[in-house]
Amino acid sequence: MRPIQKSNKLADVCYDIRGPVLEKSKQMEDEGHKITKLNIGNLAVFGFDPPDEIVQDMILNLHNSAGYTDSKGLFAPRKAVMHYTQSKNVAGVGIDDIYLGNGASELIVMAVNALLNTGDEVLVPAPDYPLWTAAVSLSGGTPKHYICDEQSDWYPDIEDIRSKITSNTRAIVVINPNNPTGALYPVEVLQQIVEVARQHQLIIFADEIYDKVLYDEAQHTSIASLADDVLCITMNGLSKNYRSCGYRSGWMVVSGEKKHAKDYIEGLNMLASMRLCANVPGQFAIQTALGGYQSIQDLVKPGGRLLKQRDLAYQLLTDIPGISCVKPKAALYMFPRLDPKIYPIVDDQQFAYELLEEAKVLIVQGTGFNWIAPDHFRVVFLPNSDDMTEAFGRIARFLEGYRKR
Ligand code: PLP
């Protein structure tokens, strides 16, 4: 029989966060091994429960959730998103500019698909949250990676951005707060990106899903609030800020220069209609979450569990010889560097396999985030302090063995 092959559209599509190393980890679990999973920002499975109010309201609203809704979503949660967006100083946003989705993920794929023709280019950060690169490739576009500079707290390198612009460049992706680096961009950096977008008529795709997971009293600025005259598509949702990844509840806001984007917006509406609507219990959760007490603050303030774990993870990792790391200002991740002189890694997926096999810890290799060299990896700091100390101890022992090879 003729082999059944995946489509050519998938040839350049990659999503290593759930790639072959995870498959290996599942296999090891089936064989009875206990694996510590530092590979994804899945808060609820580490005992970071979603706010009770959200769960209760979802249960209450289940009776009203059986029908389809408008493709963009229910009015009340969209209104809550509108108010939230206004509270972040983004001007000119009405109900019609808001789309609810099955997580930000669905909306990312939709927003990119609605825009790109074959050969169009999109500036995507390196390292990135790899769904962006994957979505651009799947849409027939070409991701062009711009460097975020580890020496400058992982801020985007504006000169590198400029150097990668061609006549085919349509958009720039800005992930702030950043996954995987934990960087939080200051206003000046955002302004420079807006200036580049303005000069070259680029759309800004802003991924702000961690905008409340901020440490050390840091403040987040929505890039859309600085860009009234540039088309901005901002993604956010409940997965991280409200610890409810499983509810698949996200939103997208269209703001800025909409006058010249009527056709694109028609495309967005078409794709939103084709998937009928986002899951309705998840839509109800948005309204409750945004209207309620912002309980993530308890986790990130002094004495809060996430903050304590960030500090512990930073200490434990940077105590290992040959590891350096920019301390994250936000989000749930660290993206440490392995000094190539001490750890001459050629294939970092192989490194992740070996770490998994020997230390029983699952991490994601840096190249999985489209990083340029096999010298980084990403971990979450979500296990409780005892489990984290134990798991990072195993990583340290594995690396000690690696140094002696
Ligand atoms: N954007 C970033 C930067 C993420 O890290 C993630 C998930 O880890 C997502 C988007 C996807 O979020 P959602 O669960 O809303 O689909």
Task: Give the nearest ligand 1 atom to 238 CA.
Answer: 15
Region 8-49+298-403: CATH code? 3.90.1150.10
- Domain covering 52-291 in this structure, CATH number: 3.40.640.10
Mutational pocket test of ligand 1: of 81, 128, 179, 213, the residue with most ligand atoms within 8 Å of the beta carbon? 179
Q: Is the pLDDT of residue 292 over 80?
A: no
Q: Which of 19-23, 128-132, 159-163 has the lowest mean pLDDT?
A: 19-23
Q: Global pTM? A: 0.96
**233 close to 203: Cβ distance less than 8 angstroms:** yes
Q: What's the confidence (pLDDT) of residue 20?
A: 85
Predicted pLDDT at 297: 86
Q: List, by residue range, all CATH 3.40.640.10 domains of the chain.
A: 52-291
Q: Write out the two tokens for 339.
A: 């000094």
Give per-residue pLDDT as tens, 53-109.
999 999 999 999 999 999 999 999 999 999 999 999 999 999 999 999 999 999 999
Structure token digits, residue 52 = 């009770």
**Beta carbon of 279 within 6 Å of any ligand 1 atom:** no
Residue listed under structure tokens 């949702």: 237
Identify the band that residue 110 occupies on the pLDDT scale cut at 50, 70 and 90: very high
Instruction: Identify the band that residue 308 occupies on the pLDDT scale cut at 50, 70 and 90.
Output: very high
CA 333 to CA 310: how far, in whole Å? Answer: 8
Closest CA to 173 of 101, 117, 121: 121
Can you tell me the ipTM of this complex? Answer: 0.99
Q: Ligand 1, residues 48, 129, 212, 364: which to mutate, most atoms within 8 A of Cβ?
A: 129
Residues 166-187: tens digit of each pLDDT: 999 999 999 999 999 999 999 9
User: 302: CA distance to ligand 1 center in Å?
Assistant: 26
Q: Where in the chain is the domain with CATH 3.90.1150.10?
A: 8-49+298-403
**294, pLDDT greater than 80:** no
Nearest by Cα to 244 from 62, 24, 56, 374: 56
Please tell me whether the peptide bond between 180 and the residue prior to it is cis, using omega within 30 degrees of 0. Answer: yes
Q: Identify the weakest region by mean pLDDT among 18-32, 272-286, 307-321, 328-342.
A: 18-32
**41 touches ligand 1 (CB under 6 Å):** yes
Token pair 């109900």 in the structure block, residue: 95
Q: Is the CB of 35 under 6 A from ligand 1?
A: no
Q: What is the model's pLDDT at position 209?
A: 98
